[in-house]
Each structure stands twice: as structure tokens, then as C-alpha cells.
Structure 1
Amino acid sequence: MPAFPSLLLYATLTAAVLTGLWLLVRYWQERNYRRRPYIAPAYNDWLLHAPDATTPPQHRIALLGDPGALATDGTDPILQLLASWQQETGPAGTIIILGDNIYPTGLPAADSPNRAAAEKRLDALLDALRVFPGRVVFLSGNHDWNKGRPDGYAYLLRQEAYIAEQLPTALYLPAGGTPGPVSVQLADNVLLVVLNTQWWVQNGARPASDPKEPFQQLHKLLSANCHQRILVAGHHPLYSNALHGGKFTAKQHVFPLTTVYKRAYVPLPLIGSLLPLYRKVVGAAEDMAHPRYRKMRRRLLRVLRQFPNIMYAAGHDHNLQYFQRHGGHYLVSGAGSKTAFVQKGGNATFVHEHKGFFSLDFYATGETWLRTLEPATTSETAEVFRQRLLPGPIVSPPVVATAIINEPATKR
């Protein structure tokens, strides 16, 4: 009988040592690639390919997600980058704000002590968009719905009304917190379809709807427009190598509270791994593993996979990610004001833990190009990755022997 406690102790110590070694290896690997752009090996020659520089795009779309913590003193690098994109694009463009427009909890009531700070952050974004001669489209995210709490619908309606008052030319879609889908013809052969993905994961009040009906409407909409190039936009990603996709750093296994508060360095080795495991398998309301999110994702993918070359853009995770899956193109462009860990490899073609946003360039030839734009250390814009998403004739620029990963973007 005394041997049993000894065996249990031995097994516990062995598990602790093995877990510690695994975390050390993971930590060392993460140090070597974190905050560096990852590009799948098959696309390492991306610098050698570009659209025809002599022909400007027919239409451009900037995909800016999670801008709710922008600097309000005029020094924000993302707003400066967006201003450069606007100047380059002109009226033949659309800026899509992919939700989480105000951190931490959307737009509080007028008598709330947090109202002034929330307005100041949103005003900084609206001021940057006010001069844009193209179209502006706002989506809502979980933070805009008071982080999904039961009173979130009131927060959403306040924000929608505020933006309509301050920037009446902008579209807030789908209107009134409805699930959608809503379509907007952006240009000839370029269609935007917007879904309110928060509707499926929201607690408390929300507009009434059959949860299956929007997907039936989406299928009809995509079928009727399958001759066009279609971008579907929602706040929540369908693929992710980051936090909401169940990916955690070694540090978060030892200091799990840092996933909620970045400075909460309370060491909880072994026990701390239970939180990442929970969020990967069961999930908080904003995680892919959560039953409501999982059901919404499954139904949405079932529709999208029936349409080759569909493009889907989201925010939510604070990084830049691009996936090619089942003939479709899936983007995560949630690095508008914050950054967070993203794991390299897996099914991802490109990931980067860095502030920035994706731009989609649509050409009259039928080509569609993805560009990854990030604030550079110089006055130039850094284009760290580009990829042709939809086919057409490719013009390859001459090989430049000294080309580097942060090659400045040129006007097209």
C-alpha cells in the first residue's frame, strides 16, 4: 500500500518535468518567430510577383479591424497609414471597419463616466475617415455590444446612432443589430456582403430572427451573384492561429491571467494550462470553441464552401492572417490598434503579429490582389506580403537581388 503514494508522486513529478521542458522548448521557438512575418514556404517568392503597375485598380478595399484603442493625439501609426492609403486610392475605394470600434465596451450611456473617453476614441477614427471621398462601411464586434453582455444591444444602437450623426455618409451594416446578410455593390463585378456575426453569439436582447434563415438568404444571394467577385465580411474569423482559435503562448500556460490582463504575472504552473485547455476545447463566448460560435461557423462555412474563390474578411484576433481553404480565401485583419500572439504554420499562408491592415485591389482584368500594409519605420508604407487571389494575367517585375521583406509599397 505505501508504494501507491510513491508512484503517484513519481508520476506527478515526471509530468511536471516533461511539461516544463515542453514549455521551455515552446518559449524558445516563439522567441525566434514572434512579431516576424511568417510566409508559407510555397509563397516565399512573393516579391517576384505583382499586378501590372501601369494599370490602376478598378476598386480598392481597406480592411481595418479592431481600431477601438487608437491613439487620439494625432500620432497613431495606423491612422497615418490609412491616410496614405486614402490618398493613394481616391474615390474608387471602400474602407470596411470590421468591428470592435471602441474599446473596452463600446459606447456607454450619455451619463456614464466612461462616455467621454469612448467618444474621443471613436471621434479620432471618424475624423480620419471624414476626408475620404470613397465609401465607408462599419461593422460591429463583441466589444461594441458591451463584450456580449445582456445589455449589449443598447450599446450597439447608441454607437450606430452616433456614427450616423457624426459621419452620415458612412454605412453601419447590418442596420439595427440584425444578422443580415446585406449586400452593397461597390463597383462593376465587385460585391460586398455583410453579416453581423455577433448576433449568433450575443447574450440578452437582439432583433428576433430564425438563426438558420440568414444562411439560407446568404446562399441565395451568393448563387444569384456567383458571376461577380464577392467579399463577405463579418467580425468573427472562420480560421485563426491566434487566441480565439485556441492558440496560446508558453507564457500564458504559466501566467494564464495575462490572457485577460497583460500585467497579471501570477505564476500558476500546470494549473495554468487548464485555462488555455478550456478555451481551446470549451471556449469563452468569443472563442471558436464555444458552442454558439462553433455552430455559427459551421453553418457559414457550409455555405461559403459551395462558392469557389469566395473571400471572407474578419477582425477579432489582433493580428494579420491569411488562409486558403477549400477554394476560398479567409482573412483576419484585426490589428487596427492592438497586437497579440499568432502561431505560425498550420494551414496559414501568411501571419504576422503586427499592427496593420489588408488591402484588396480589384482590377478590370478580373485579377484580385491581396496586399498586407503595415506602418514602417521610415516614412514609406511597408508592404510585407502580397498574393494574387483571383486569376488574370500576371506581370512579374524584374528580380531585385537586394529585395527585403519590408519592401516599400509603390502606387499602382
Structure 2
Amino acid sequence: MLIYFLVIVPTLLFTFLAFSYWQERKYRRKPFYRLSDLGWKRLPPPPAADLQQSVALLGDVGAIATDGSDPVMHLVQEWQQEVAAKGTMIFLGDNLYPIGLPDVGHRHRPMAEARLNTLIQSIKQYPGSGVFISGNHDWFKGRKGGYDQMLRQERYVEEHLGQEKSYMPHNGCPGPSTWQLADGLLLVIINTQWFVQRGEKPLGRKYECPYDDIEEFFIRLNRVLKRNTHQRVLIAAHHPLYSNAQHGGKFTVKQHIFPLTAMHKRIYIPLPIFGSLYPFYRKLFGAYEDMSHRKYKRMRKRLLRIFHRYSNLIYVGGHDHNLQHFEVRGNHYIVSGAGSKTAFVKKGGRATFTLEQLGFFVLNYYSNGEVWMECRTVPAEAGAGADVMFRKKLASVRTPLAAQ
């Protein structure tokens, strides 16, 4: 019996871990497609002339290069040239790493300002429109002073961009804020950071928020969706509701065996048992920004309870640094958080598509009522056009939206 535990069990465990690691190595940074979507390349979208509105979903762009060499911003420029004034850029939060926009004199201020100016300029030089949403890093990750940090970024964007709907929801309120992007196309923006925020967060007339009880938020959100069932509704926020990545409790075998690589990629000290404690904690209980944390879990449950009453909703977030798509109960859930960083994403599960690569999703709305999703990534060769890694029709209505 002693030999069994000392030899056979460790051998089986090592074999399992080695096989799991080999499997991960095979599909990391490679696209995963649900079986029914393997033939996506054979399904061409409607003609570009029928395009009504295109929406670029840019998540977690807070570490972009400011010298004009950033590959994702080059993809953005390419998309802008294609769609011209028919486009809307949505920055899905974590617009500035590591701590948002600090006060003047802080050591991170010059770089944060340069990055924010780059994002603002990408909207100002473009005939379309753009809007910023705040994420956890923009709120100083919930620490003391996070609310002021977010307000500082909002005011900076509004001052330098000079557009009415440049930062939403206003004043860090929960929302929901709405924007009629085109005929038959409504954008709804939610400040999900409000629900997981630890420090000060606004609510009530004192903060210029329209209600004093957070229950009113869910009532208003349901009312907005109920009144707009005749439209295509796009819901944008920072935190995803489905994810096969770290904030969804998914970790690599490497993170279990070599947990110190999370601190520095070269610290390969094997801790095969103790190393699993941290991933298991994140999966079962979670940090404040994880789906398993009680605050996140409560928010997610309430939102999904409302969304499941409707169909053809598209909800998009960032937060996890990869590209994912889920189709659940007639609605679509997108993670578009690979604007400046990438991280592991697990294949399979409820996901129809996953990819660990720099890029972003685009939603194209056509005059015939069809809605197409497109995943654009940084090309393997410099100077080449965007690599379209996935394209899928998400919705279709019989009556053209423009005619409604």
C-alpha cells in the first residue's frame, strides 16, 4: 500500500499533468471553433454597400504603444478606412494600465496621458464616433481613491474629445445609458465595475445618478430592453458574463505547477501541490474581479436573469485578455479584451469560438436586418492586412431595419 501511494499515484499524477500540458501547448494561440462553425469561411457576409453600421469592440487597450507602431491601432485604422463614417468605436474599459489616469506629478501620469491621447486621437481623426467605458484598472482596481481616479479620466476624455457621448455612464453611475447608433440599433452601456467596486461608488442625486436604490437599475434595464424588442440591442460593459479564461476560473497546468511565473515568467520553481492553492481559490472564491467572487456572482446572476427573457441580445465585455464568443439561450456573449495584452483561454465548454491573440471583434449591422460578427487579429507578417479568424451571422430579421 505504501509503495502504491509513493510510486504509482505520483506517476499517474505526473502523467496526467504532462498530457494536459501537451494538450494545452497544441491549441494555445490557435483558434477553437465549435463543430457546427468549422465551415464559417464558406459563408460570405452581405455586400459592403448594404452596411448600415459597424461597431469595433476594443477591450483592454491600456498598454498600447504611443509611437505609432501599435499593431492593434493599425488594425483600427484599417477598419476606419473600410467603414468611413458608418462606424462606432467602443473602448470597453481598462483603457489605461496599470492604474488608470493618476494625478499630475505621479510617476505613471506621463505614460497614461500619452496612451489616452493616442486613443482620443484615433476618434478625433475619424468621421465616425467613439465612446469610452471604465474598467477595474481605470478605477484603481477598487482601492482607495479609485472613484476620483475614474472621474479624472472621464473629465480628461470629455475635455479633449469634445463629444457629448464620449464617456458613459456619466460620473461613474451604474447606468444603463443608451445611445441610438442607427435606425433599429440601440447601444446600452452598463458600468459593471460599480457592482464589484470596494471603495467609494456613486449612487443618488448627490452624485447626479438618477436613483437612490440600486434595485432601480435592474428595473430600468429591463424596461429599456422590453421597450426595444423591435430593435437590435447591443449591450456593452467591461466585465464578461461568460469566460473560459482566468476571470472565469480557468488556469493553465503551468500555473498549477509553476505558480511563481505569475510574478515573473522566468521563475520556474516547481510547487505542484501548493501551486494549485491559488488557482483553486480563484476558481472557488475569487478575487474581486473574478466571476466566482460573491459580488461578481450576484451581479452576473441578476443580469442574466433579465437577459434570458429576451432573444438576439448581444452582450460584449473585455476584462480577460483574449477573444471569445458564446451563444446561450438565443443571446450572444462576446469577450473582446485582447486590445494590448493576451492571456490563456481554454477551448470548448459553452464557447463557440476562442483565441489567444491580439485583436478585436467587429459587429456589422446591415440594411437587410442581418448582424454579422467578425474577429480581426494582428497579422503574422508586418504590413499585411488584418487576419479575419472568425465570421458568423448572429441575427437576421425579415423586415429591413431601415424600413421600420
2:244 to 238, 241, 244: 241
Sort the Cα spacing of 1:50 and 1:125 in 2 relative to 1 into closer, same or farther, 3 A: same
Give the drift of 1:189: 0.1
Distance 1:265 1:202, change over 3 A: farther
Give the aligned partner of residue 188 of structure 1: 183
The DSSP-based 3-state class of the residue aligned with 2:85 is coil
2:101 alignment partner in structure 1: 107
For 1:18 and 1:123, locate their aligned partners in 2 and report how far apart those are by CA, in whole Å.
Answer: 54
User: Which residue of structure 2 lines up, in the alignment, with residue 85 of structure 1?
Assistant: 79
| Amino acid in structure 1 at the alignment position of 2:28 | R
Q: Name the count of aligned residue pairs.
A: 387
Gaps spanning 5+ residues in structure 1: where? 1-5, 394-412
Secondary structure, in 3 states, of the residue corresponding to 1:80?
A: helix
Q: Is the 8 A contact 2:172 2:202 kept in 1?
A: yes
User: Residue 174 of structure 1 is aligned with which of 169, 178, 188?
Assistant: 169
CA distance in 1, matches of 2:123, 2:263: 31
Deviations 1:372-403 (A, max 9, x none): 1112125222111100000258xxxxxxxxxx
Alignment of 1:13-412 (within 5 A): 15-53=9-47, 55-169=49-163, 171-208=166-203, 209-376=212-379, 377=381, 378-391=383-396
Distance 1:338 1:140 in 2: 17
In structure 2, relative to structure 1, the CA distance for the partners of 1:166 and 1:265 (3 Å cut) is farther
Structure 1 range deviating more: 193-202 or 124-133: 124-133
1:351 positional shift: 0.6
Match of 1:403 in 2: none
Shift of 1:36: 0.6
Change (3 A) 1:98 1:260: farther
In 2: Cα distance, 1:264 partner to 1:289 partner: 28
Report the CA distance between 1:121 and its aligned residue. Answer: 1.8
**1:267: Cα distance to partner?**
2.7
How far apart, in 2, do the equivalents of 1:309 and 1:179 lie? 23
Distance 1:262 1:306, change over 3 A: farther
Q: Given residue 185 of structure 1, which amino acid in structure 2 is its aligned partner? A: Q
State the Cα deviation string for residues 282-328 of structure 1 (Å, max 9, x = none): 00111100000000000000001111111000000000000000110
Amino acid at match of 2:391: R
Q: C-alpha offsets along residues 231-258 of structure 1, whole Å, 9 cap, x if unaligned? A: 0111000000001001111110012233
SS of the residue corresponding to residue 200 of structure 2 reads coil
| SS of residue in 2 equivalent to 1:277 | helix
Matches of 2:318 and 2:95 in 1, distance apart? 11
* Cα distance in 2 between the residues matched to 1:19 and 1:196: 43
Paired residues of 2:123 and 2:129 also in contact (CA < 8 A): no
Residues in 1 aligned to 2:391 and 2:12: alpha-carbon distance in whole angstroms: 40
Q: Does the aligned pair in 1 maintain the 2:50–2:367 contact within 8 Å?
A: no
Secondary structure of the corresponding residue to residue 58 of structure 1: strand
Q: How far off its partner does 1:213 sit?
A: 2.3
Q: Distance in 2 between matches of 1:262 and 1:141?
A: 25
Question: Distance between the aligned counterparts of 1:176 and 1:210, measured in 2?
Answer: 16
Structure 1 residues 230-239 or 167-176, which shifts more? 167-176
Is the 8 Å Cα contact of residues 50 and 368 (structure 2) preserved in structure 1? Answer: no
Say whether the 8 Å CA contact 2:46–2:366 is kept in structure 1.
no
Shift of 1:162: 0.9
Do the aligned partners of 2:101 and 2:138 also contact (CA within 8 Å) in 1? yes
Deviation at residue 124 of structure 1 after TM alignment: 2.0
- Aligned CA RMSD, in angstroms, stands at 1.6
Alpha-carbon distance in 2 for matches of 1:237, 1:331: 7
Provide the identity percentage.
50
For 1:38 and 1:269, locate their aligned partners in 2 and report how far apart those are by CA, in whole Å: 28
Runs of 5+ consecutive residues of structure 2 not aligned to the other structure: 204-211, 399-404
Q: Structure 1 residues 177, 223: CA separation in 2 closer, same or farther (over 3 Å shift)?
A: same
User: Residues 152-192 of structure 1, C-alpha deviation per residue, up to 9 Å, x if partnerless?
Assistant: 10110011011112212251000101000011000000000
2-structure distance, mates of 1:158, 1:13: 59
- The alpha carbon displacement at 1:17 in A equals 3.5
Q: Do the aligned partners of residues 17 and 274 (structure 1) sit closer, same or farther apart at CA in structure 2, a change above 3 Å counting? A: farther
* SS of corresponding position for 1:222: helix
Describe the superposition over 1:52-77 as per-residue Cα deviations: whole angstroms up to 9, x where unpaired.
Answer: 22633101100000000001111100
Shift of 1:266: 3.6
